[in-house]
Structure 1
Amino acid sequence: MGKTIAEKILSNHAGQDLKAGDFAVCNIDFCFGQDGTSGIIVDRFRALGIKEAFDRGKFAIVIDHSAPSPNMGVSAVHKKLRDFSREKGLLLYDVGCGVCHQVIPENGHVLPGDLVLGADSHTCTYGALGALSTGVGSTDLAISLACGKNWFKVPQSIKIVVHGKLGRGVYSKDLILHIIGDLKADGATYQSVEFYGSCIDALSMDARFTICNMGVEMGAKFSVIPADKKTLAWLSGRNKMRKPSPRYADKDAVYSLVKEYDASRIGPQLAKPHAVDNNAVVEELVGTHIDEAYLGTCTNGRLEDLEIAAGMLRGRRVSKNVRFIVAPASRNIYLQAMKKGLIGILVQAGASVVTPGCGPCVGTHNGVPSVGEVVVSTANRNFKGRMGNPESFIYLGSPATVVASAIEGCIADPRAYLK
């Protein structure tokens, strides 16, 4: 019987032949925490009585969720993390470096075939590189920091095949919102989702990160796009210490579910408050008043997303009734966007560009909405309180939909602003 990608990678990291349903202890290639979770990692690591990390080069702390610090309490946590990193000689990506799910792959810490753990639920993002990656709790992460291992139950796998081409004004975010709306928030609980098809093959790496980032929003343990030439080209030069070891599913691999979609039949999508699977097409919501528009996050704060936004805003302005907040996903992306003139276009159009990080998405600072206010966002979650106020309303959409809505002051169809 053939194996899925998850069965192959976990077997390789356990040193034994595994199939779905088996339990095993596996070696970890990389692990990390962010400032919202790493304080507990530090405490649990010290409680174990371990003096040194299993490998100083295979763990990092990324200060991104409240960066720069919005208050004294957070500042104390940040100092604790900096002190721990210096004491143990560990990697630290400090304020301004960017969102962990951009910074980690951007700096070459993940390769095809790797097994990665992060103390953050959207660690599944790195499946875009053909890796198995998943979020765990801080205590589990502390264990991995101490010994370089963790336990896994080998998941069953779902195969998703997307045929055809995305239409004008339709992006990877629309595609994954459509799929989540179809499968629902628990449709892939503790399963590994593999993405295939001509549409997936045609996606840029930025777009593939968007797809895999939101796998957890349908309950997936892992979400994976098999590595191809695009993947290897994106990785070229990022890690000179190791070679990629991509794994591919066998033709006779067994899946719990196979779903097929026609990309050409999908239009701009939105997730309505207060659930990611509360799906709607843009035509249903056109004209809905908004107070804030947000472009950024680990889902859609990459260079391609900023290019889409700048292209739509060139020669236009954001509505005077809308606060338009932009957060590049990393310092590197910020710099690239500056060199291309994108930041100037966004600022001239009325955008407020903030430090690369997660602040507005998780509601720590840089754009917390008021009671009753409505936000349209490129983020991955729209639960009550997600952006810091449980009495606000969040719609999720693509960068193009967010920008069109910012221009009009209400939810708008992006196709009207695209050539």
Structure 2
Amino acid sequence: MRQKTAIRAAAAGIAALLTATACSSQRGEEDAGTAADGACKGQQTTGITDKSIKLGGVYPLSGPASAYGTISKGVSAYFKYINAEKGGIDGRKVEFIVRDDGYQPPKAVEETRRLVEKEKVFAVFQTLGTPSTATVWDYLNRQKVPQPFVATGASMWGTDTKHPWTTGWQPNYVAESRMYGDYLKDEKPKAKVAVLYQNDDFGKDLLGGFKQAVKGSKIKVVAEESYEVTDPSVSAQMANLARSRADVLLNITTPKFGSQALAADAKNAKWNPLHIVNSVSSSTSVLQPVGFKNVQGVVSATYFKDPADPQWADDAEMKAYRKALKKYEPEAEPSIQLNAYGWAVASSLHKAIDAMECPTREGLRDAVRNLKDVKVDMLLPGVTLATGPDDGFPIETMQMMRFKGERWRLFGEPLDTRKEFGPVTD
């Protein structure tokens, strides 16, 4: 809670420095043009015309979380494919501008301002990371610029009703932690759990959700170690956790540290816990450096199709994805899940834009908040998008998976965590 307060305080401080610019830019956007018809008249049409849509995205293309940067390749491939082979979105060609914040909140502010005030984007799509997103959402909501489908599962994006222009996309971390708690109740009902977590809202959200999920059971968290995103490694933390002799390790990390934790676990012959890795570090790009033979039996959860899974080889959407990635982003590896993630979230935005009643920023805001079981072909069967005015969590259904051989294998059935456990409210 102190971390969340600190992030919001920092965001407020930075926002205060932007007030004069924000206000003048807001007036400029409102004067930029109006929709022609009825209820749409007077709404913001900055960044959108009858023939084009300009979108901006902020990703860590460099820095400690740079592994996430490849998501932008999947997004870019989707929009290039739609532009070249489908005539754009409703006849509008998409221009997607990517900026690098190095996973640094002050840099995220700088790049977001550039997208809004200089590039005049229609929406800031897919800001990545909880700290960066938290630092800019006050600014974007004051500017009335849509911030759809942020690439972070922090629960605040769905529970906060004061920021209607911002929405999440992936399952929130509390919902994900419920999956792991539910799984352990069946698999290891008396588990002793050691936890490695990132010391920010991401890590604390997932850890707090897990503790709540196992409350009242015989599953106990017996050891916790945190790390900072600026730390060089987590070897000391892993050594401390190994001394706990826990029979489950819950790995709540971003990719760099996820690889380190998996490697440390593999090297410790005296400790062999069931290893649960959170979804944001479950990509094969995280596991491969450790060696696939060293990550056998690791467990995680997912909600979109794995391009490395042969069961999707003849899937029409997977074929389109692979062909487009090779053609439009040839340096990106199709089998990397983060690229498929980018494709899936870009396809989700396409659906939201199609659903706009007004081709305006307000129209996109309202469409994103009114998704009714929308099917996105890259998501797992049974997983759809659904939101409401007070519900910014589009995806709350996941399925467990286990790593075997050289790929993840799904097991069990998709679980709608909202129906199973109730809504996430805090």
The alignment's TM-score, normalised by the length of structure 2, stands at: 0.32
The alignment's TM-score, normalised by the length of structure 1, stands at: 0.32
